[in-house]
A = this chain, B = another copy of it.
Amino acid sequence: MNLKVPDTPVVVVDLDKLETNIREMAEFAREAGVSLRPHIKSHKTVEIARKQMAAGAVGVTVAKLGEAEVMVEAGITDILIAYQVVGEAKLRRLMDLMGRATITVAVDTLPGARMLAEAARGRGRHVPVVVEVNSGLDRCGVLPGEETLRLVRQLLELPELIFKGLMTHAGQAYGASSPRQVAEIGRHEGEVMVATAGLLRKSGIPVETVSVGSTPTVKFSGRIKGVTEIRPGNYVFYDAIQHGLGVAPLERCALSVLATVISRPAPGRAVIDAGSKTFALDKGAHGTAVVQGFGVVKGLPGWQLTRLSEEHGILEDAAKMEREPEVGEVLDIIPNHACPVVNLTDRVLVVRSGKAVDEWRVAARGRVR
């Protein structure tokens, strides 16, 4: 990278690659005939959300209410909170936000739905909801089929909730060991949702939305007839885990970390000024075996980022076959997982053709509430 040596560590976004990734996913959604509602938890950045909307997204997905607040503030008015909104303080904030935008919320338990309905009643509101279905991740979500039907019937008795449809996130794809397995998980994600929607409709319940998620799986689940919406997030950047899963080549990875070599304490060992407080410790949230170390060092393929302390990254060249980087040298590293990396920085440096052209604030960084 030919940047005029910036202070490091710094998170860099390549604008050409970012725009290619955004455009390509929007084209896929159009071809597959599904709505694109990208998950902004990956970038937490207003500028990127606006690019996604401009490329044809129908709205955005968020995990946390705090992220929704930032997006509404930025002028985005159709938001899915793909998350259970629970707790007095949050329900109050949700009702406030509903006055300013269309906010759909995920539910997966009757107690949670009742609290939501009660909060809405108190404020004279009606809340659009989707039921979260467990398509194999075993995190949140009711089981597909009869169990989903049972919960939906209970929801229909709560007049403050407007049942819109079903959503799922097949995050278990991150634990896949091959692209073939990713594809299988993706097809299953779509099929199980379409089947459950069919069961509801047979019971006389209209289902408007059948929404599936995750960057690795949407190219498969998004093609299943009956799926109406996809919610990929990470695709704006991609990263070493997506590469390992066969989802994107390294050349498409739009986000990287520039770090400076601060020590060369022994042959085959170099230390950089970025550790887990920059890279996070992600090796795949659900147990992936598709990455080695904590990132891919561009231009020095023999060197692996084998260990991270909080502020140190330890690079090792086990074979000692490659050029040794020098103290002061700036390295460009694709992280394993771009999403937590963005959440650890206040701003990202935006480059085009190796030149810094902008700096974006990570406006929803740290919005875990």
Interface size on A, residues (CB 8 A): 68
Q: Mark A249-291, 1 if CB is under 8 A from B, else 0.
A: 0000000000011111110010101101110111001100000
Contacts of A271 in B (CB 8 A): 84, 139-140
Interface status of A366 (Cβ within 8 A of chain B): yes
Chain A interface residues (CB < 8 Å from chain B): 5-10, 41, 63-64, 83-84, 86-90, 93, 108-109, 111-112, 115, 134, 138-142, 171, 260-266, 269, 271, 273-274, 276-278, 280-282, 285-286, 307-312, 314, 326-328, 330, 339-340, 343-346, 366, 368-369
- Listed from nearest, the 8 A-B pairs whose CB atoms lie closest are A7-B89, A84-B262, A281-B281, A63-B311, A111-B327, A140-B263, A86-B262, A87-B260
The docked-state distance in angstroms from the alpha carbon of A339 to that of B311 is 11
Q: Is the CB of A314 within 8 A of B139?
A: yes
Q: Is the CB of B109 within 8 A of A8?
A: no
Contacts of A90 in B (CB 8 A): 7
Q: Is the CB of B265 within 8 A of A134?
A: yes
* Residue of chain B at shortest CB distance from A282: B281
Contacts of A115 in B (CB 8 A): 327-328
The docked-state distance in angstroms from the alpha carbon of A310 to that of B288 is 15
Q: Is the CB of B285 within 8 A of A369?
A: no
Could you tell me the distance in whole angstroms from the C-beta of A90 to the nearest C-beta in chain B? 6
Q: Is the CB of A368 within 8 A of B260?
A: no
* Residue of chain B at shortest CB distance from A86: B262
